[in-house]
Structure 1
Amino acid sequence: MACSENMFFLIGLFMSGVLTCFGRRDLITTMPDRLDGLTGSCVQIPCSFDVPEQHKNTFKATIPTFGVWIKTHPDVHQYPGNVIFHSNGKVNRYQGKITGNMSQKNCTTVFFNVTTSYSDKYYFRIDGQPFRGTDPDKSVNIVVSDFPSSPIITVSGEVKEGTPVSLNCSAVAPCPEHPPELTWTLPTQFTTENQLQENPDQTISVLSTVTFTPSYLHHEKNITCTAVYPVGTSNKTAEHNMMLNVSFSPKDTSASISPYDPVLVGSYVNLTCSSTANPPVTNFTWFQISEGKTTQVASGQSYTLNVTGDGGLYFCEGRNSHGCGKSNEVQLAIKGKMGT
């Protein structure tokens, strides 16, 4: 099309039919506030529209309706060069396609092979019948990057030893025809389930759910979700790393005595209890075994004992909200007793 013909077409776009005055909402569109695109891929804009009551009689669903996309500013009278796409094919600065059914007020559109220069605000306009109108109050901010945004890992509930848990990884799919593939790296065996999901704003994401049974050995281990986006003949990847926080009852509980060598009656010895737990141990308890009888003798992580008797065996227990762990038994040996 020659430059003069193109100009006449744009003038016709603005002037024929009902003239829309900038600042007055003659069209009501619904679309996301923001879309993140990937260089070389496509971007799908979920879009629908409605006509205000004062124009209900002018808009005819039975008459073919065209869709127009305007960049940066919605005032096509002042900025005619901002029109970047018209579904009748006469303006196609951006290669695109309206995939929605315009007669059903669905203006969902796909732009192909986007670049970082596409990053901007976009407004929608209808054209091609007695009523024409633009929504100046609603735009979608498209942000195109050379690299994909990282997926997001979320945890459903507490990660507790011995209890199956699900982790979710979500990655945006700005080009639903070529969604990303999600993979996991975990320090244990797992099962996965992947699916496309529609978000409240009608954008599309890929959701991957992994289910496994954690052990206390997995505490503070790293997990990774990787999103691989197909772009042309190559791939672009992004990942999210997260450290597992596994709740577990006390493990590796042990008791120690100092001095370890036989001691004299009347001297002091220190007994110390240690344990690994998440959350940390909140209560340590000491027990003595003497003549086959077990007796609770103290509480606290450390226990200082004035040696007055015949010695014996001691052990401790550590407890948190998930359970308890019992230590080994340590011998309190007294000089002059039992051959010492």
Structure 2
Amino acid sequence: MACPENMLFLIVLFISGVLDCFGQRDLITTMPDRLDVLTGSCVQIPCSFDIPDQHKDTFNSTILLSGVWIKENFGRLPDNVIFNSSKTVNRYQGKITGNMSQMNCTTVFFNVTTNYTNIYFLRIESQPYHATDPDKSINIVVRDLPSSPIITVSGEVKEGTPVSLNCSAVAPCPEHPPELTWTLPTQFTPENQLQEKSDQTKSVLSTVTFTPSYLHHEKNITCTAVYPVGTSNKTAEHNMMLNVSFSPKDTSASISSADPVFVDSCVNLTCSSTANPPVTTFTWFKISECKTQVASGQSYFLNVTVGDGGLYYCEARNSHGCGKSNEVQLAIKGQEEPVNPKVFEIVGKTLGLIFLFSLIVFFEWRRRTSRLPSGFDMTDRSQGLVGMNSPVGTVCTNQATAGEEPEEPAEDQPEEIQYGDIDFSKLQTKETPATAQDRVQGQESEYAEVNVTGSRAQLPPLNNLDELYAQVN
């Protein structure tokens, strides 16, 4: 015979089930549908409840409320009751951390084991209100290893555009949340935070932001969650391959024959490129005075004619841009190979530099030669030489100024003597035998007139040319 307490409980449950069949509930609870828990760790069950209108007159929040957790079903009481907040000793070690008077029934169980895996219901007890919500339960699954974190990407991973990667790991025991770490093919700075989901469960979110390159395409990234459990750690990780969108890279052109070919022979030009998404258009160009499009397609089959020789290149294009290849030479036997236009450019620049340097040297030479004394020219030199050869030793000149008519001497005036400047330092005279004899005997004296700075000066008698040179200087 069942005890009266158990019979009363069964009757209450039966009446609750009957009322529920007619769309009426005695208690409305809110909690997650499922929680994954690690053995040896704790589990926090977010929980709240509400009292239907038909029972609010019997519910008094000021009276001490008890929260009771029941597992499996209602047929085996009291064995199915695993926790009662009004008792100090329970089958499960735990506590209700929520404020029951504010209808918060959040509960924490400690040191969970694999035997805790089950379905649980909540019952609220007060005087005179007692009710259980059979329509809402939570499934607790206890595992030896943690669940893998989840990696998500915000937006398209495109070359040159910053992108954020998010890694989320459940935190069933908020007192000991997991630590998240990243493995990426580039430098990064993570930002970690504990967040609450819509069902009030907790999780740790780690975010990294970086600018991807095409070199990161198809590289693996890893997010690792480390859960502290007692004195040890348990880890779980999630691997993902980056899918980076980029314009064509490493575009190259090749020709089936590297040697000169005959006219009417067949050659194949091939274009290759790396791109994501794949290249949609290949275009071939020939270099002449300006580039000329000659074909489309990854391969260009050519039946060689006389005018086909020259330089070719290709362009690869996708939705993100295009890439240009190197230039390949198609040489035809019996024809001179065309010169790369870059050669003319280099030669032109070189000749221009040589011409500019020559102008600089020329103007520098003119500038230096313009600094010579203005009072001496070749005419004066020749006249000076004539004067040296004259028997009198006087330098004279009747030359008129350029552009003027020579003046006729007046009849009654003596003819004026014109004087010129002589730089005796530049004259080398050859001593005649007669001059040498006169120098030895000292019988004759020579006189010379020079015009020094526009005035006439008569030199004293000199015994020889050396003395005359020294007197002038």
**TM-score of the superposed pair, with normalisation by structure 1:** 0.93
- For 2:39 and 2:337, the matched residues in 1 are separated by 83
> 257-266 vs 169-178, which deviates more?
257-266
Does the aligned pair in 2 maintain the 1:127–1:133 contact within 8 Å?
Answer: yes
| Residues 11-37 of structure 1, C-alpha deviations (whole Å, 9 max, x = no match) | 658748x94435143111000000000
Structure 2 counterparts to residues 46-195 of structure 1, below 5 A: 46-73=46-73, 75=74, 78-195=76-193
2:222 to 211, 221, 224: 224
Q: Does 1:255 align with 2:257?
A: no
Name the structure with the higher strand share.
1
- For 2:86 and 2:119, the matched residues in 1 are separated by 22
| Residues 29-53 of structure 1, C-alpha deviations (whole Å, 9 max, x = no match) | 0000000000000000000001111
- For 1:13 and 1:152, the matched residues in 2 are separated by 46
Q: How many residues were matched structurally?
A: 328
Matching residue of 1:325: 323
- Residue 45 of structure 1 aligns with an amino acid whose one-letter code is I
Matching residue of 2:426: none
Structure 2 counterparts to residues 164-313 of structure 1, below 5 A: 164-290=162-288, 292-308=289-305, 309=307, 311-313=309-311
Does the aligned pair in 2 maintain the 1:310–1:337 contact within 8 Å?
Answer: no
Cα RMSD (Å) of the superposition? 1.8
Q: Does 1:33 align with 2:33?
A: yes
Moved >3 Å (runs of 4+): 11-16
Give the drift of 1:264: 0.9
Does the aligned pair in 2 maintain the 1:84–1:91 contact within 8 Å?
Answer: no
| Residues 162-211 of structure 1, C-alpha deviations (whole Å, 9 max, x = no match) | 11000110000000111000000001011211111111111011111111
Give the drift of 1:338: 1.6
State the SS of the aligned residue for 1:256.
Answer: strand
- For 2:216 and 2:308, the matched residues in 1 are separated by 43
| Residues 119-139 of structure 1, C-alpha deviations (whole Å, 9 max, x = no match) | 000000011321011111110
State the SS of the aligned residue for 2:233.
Answer: strand
- For 1:216 and 1:339, the matched residues in 2 are separated by 38
State the SS of the aligned residue for 1:296.
Answer: strand
- For 2:89 and 2:332, the matched residues in 1 are separated by 98
- For 1:127 and 1:53, the matched residues in 2 are separated by 17
Does the aligned pair in 2 maintain the 1:42–1:175 contact within 8 Å?
Answer: yes
Does the aligned pair in 2 maintain the 1:67–1:125 contact within 8 Å?
Answer: yes
Give the drift of 1:266: 1.7
> 88-97 vs 31-40, which deviates more?
88-97
Residues 216 and 153 from structure 1, CA distance in 2 versus in 1: closer, same or farther, beyond 3 angstroms? same
- Residue 238 of structure 2 aligns with an amino acid whose one-letter code is H
State the SS of the aligned residue for 2:142.
Answer: strand
> 24-33 vs 311-320, which deviates more?
24-33
Does the aligned pair in 2 maintain the 1:161–1:215 contact within 8 Å?
Answer: yes
Pair member with larger Rg: 2
- Residue 54 of structure 2 aligns with an amino acid whose one-letter code is Q
What residue ranges of structure 1 are gaps of 5+ in the alignment?
1-6
- For 1:175 and 1:239, the matched residues in 2 are separated by 18
- Residue 186 of structure 1 aligns with an amino acid whose one-letter code is L
- For 2:312 and 2:133, the matched residues in 1 are separated by 80
Give the drift of 1:310: 5.3
What residue ranges of structure 2 are gaps of 5+ in the alignment?
339-473
Does the aligned pair in 2 maintain the 1:279–1:321 contact within 8 Å?
Answer: yes
State the SS of the aligned residue for 2:190.
Answer: strand
State the SS of the aligned residue for 1:54.
Answer: helix
- For 2:267 and 2:104, the matched residues in 1 are separated by 81
Does the aligned pair in 1 maintain the 2:97–2:105 contact within 8 Å?
Answer: yes
**TM-score of the superposed pair, with normalisation by structure 2:** 0.67
Does the aligned pair in 1 maintain the 2:224–2:238 contact within 8 Å?
Answer: yes
- For 2:7 and 2:258, the matched residues in 1 are separated by 95
Matching residue of 1:3: none
